[in-house]
Amino acid sequence: MENFSGSYKQTKTTEFLINLNKFIFVFGLPNCWVDNLDFPVIFMKVLNVLSIYGNWSVIIMNIFEYGSIYTQNNLSELQKSDLMLFLISHTIINGFRIRICHQRDQIRNVMYKLGIALKAVHNDCEAEQKMITRSKFFSWALIFNCVMSVIMYTIEGVLRVIRTGDTFNTVITAWPDVHDRSVLSNIGRTVIYVTWWIYLTRIFSVYSLVICLTIAVSHQFKNLKSYFYSLSKIFENDNVSQTEKEQEYEKAFKVGISMHSETLKCTDEIQTICREVFSGQIIFNLTLLIVLMYQMMNSPRTFSNVLTLGLTALTILFSTGFFMWNAGDITVEAEGVPVAMFSSGWENCYHESSVRVRKLVVISMSQAQKAVALTGLGIIALSYQSYVSIVKSSYSVFSVLY
């Protein structure tokens, strides 16, 4: 961790990041904050063990799903499409979790910069509160959509049992057979269903972390703009001489340049940390929407089935949208930095100081005018426009194939 001394000023941002890390730690990710979490020691030990078993159970469930391709020979069309849907989604999101776990040190460094280092120089309370509110809204909205989707699949499974007498199946694995009604098979289905909910908690942790990090970066650009706009107030102080004002302004502007550089580094680090997540989410969105549209064409037109598929489609669209909208905000907010630099009060400097400051402002603005964007698959800039294009592409591919 760069220049971390072990102590820091408590702010709403640090409090939010601590709570975020408690949340993701409970749901299977490592603690990425600069301090140890203030959980009791016994609770931490128990939770670590449960996380290990939970993570491995999800991986084993995913492996068993692949095995079902060879062992489950009597699946209906609906069960086959459900199997394909879950197989793709579980594989991709398990990969997300494993990748994020291996990026712990990088995530910790980004959190330190966004929560402590950059806030120590300037902290716009309004931007800070907006960041926290927006992060909570998107995280809870995603959790709600995921939970509702799983609940609807559960209800659909129960209704099939009541209507047709089928066995209760949600996630189809190599064992038990979908038509096996033995007690042991029912116990196995219960274990698989519980494991499915454990897998759902891993979605909560990974997606909440990525969404909150992208929102934090976009609002750091807001904080940076607020800092540059505030520099003009230096010249409103009538208790110091013009020379002292110019010296203070020049020094403060250089601090702003340093903050901008660190913010750009944070953006690059977020790109590195989340590269596979962004790319995987685009593939996830394209593939699963095609599978869902195929499933809608070939499954019974019952109310519960249509509602289940609709909620699943909305969950996929919202999860991708939350990534791309908030990543797109980084581009939008970064574009306003050159204007903030220009409006920082450089025109109040005179003579030799004016020459130095104007050169500094021009060079800084030229650097800040370079486009800032997170990308997926190495070429797709995450933005509002690209999100719409990806959704349209899913339908275009489906219409060509079917």
Interval 17-44: pLDDT, tens = 999 999 999 999 999 999 889 899 999 9
This model's pTM is above 0.75: yes
Residue 11, Ramachandran bin (φ over 0: left; ψ between -120 and 50: alpha; else beta): beta
Q: What is the mean pLDDT of residues 379-384?
A: 88
CA dist 206 and 23 (Å) reads 10
Q: What is the mean pLDDT of residues 224-234?
A: 95
Residue 9: Cβ-neighbour burial (10 angstroms; 0-12, 13-18, 19+): exposed
Q: What is the mean pLDDT of residues 240-248?
A: 91
Q: Helix crossing, 183-230 with 125-164: angle to 10°?
A: 160
Interval 40-73: pLDDT, tens = 999 999 999 999 999 999 999 999 999 999 999 8
pLDDT of residue 398: 62
Exposure b/e, 61-82, CB count within 10 A at least 16 = b: bbebbeebeeebeebeeebebb
Q: What is the mean pLDDT of residues 190-199?
A: 95
Q: What is the SS3 assignment for 10-48?
A: CCHHHHHHHHHHHHHHHCCCCCCCCCCCCCCHHHHHHHH
pLDDT at 171 > cutoff 50: yes
Mean pLDDT over the full length of the chain: 90
pLDDT of residue 21: 96
Percent of the chain with pLDDT over 90: 63
Are 202 and 93 in contact, with CB atoms under 8 Å apart?
Answer: yes
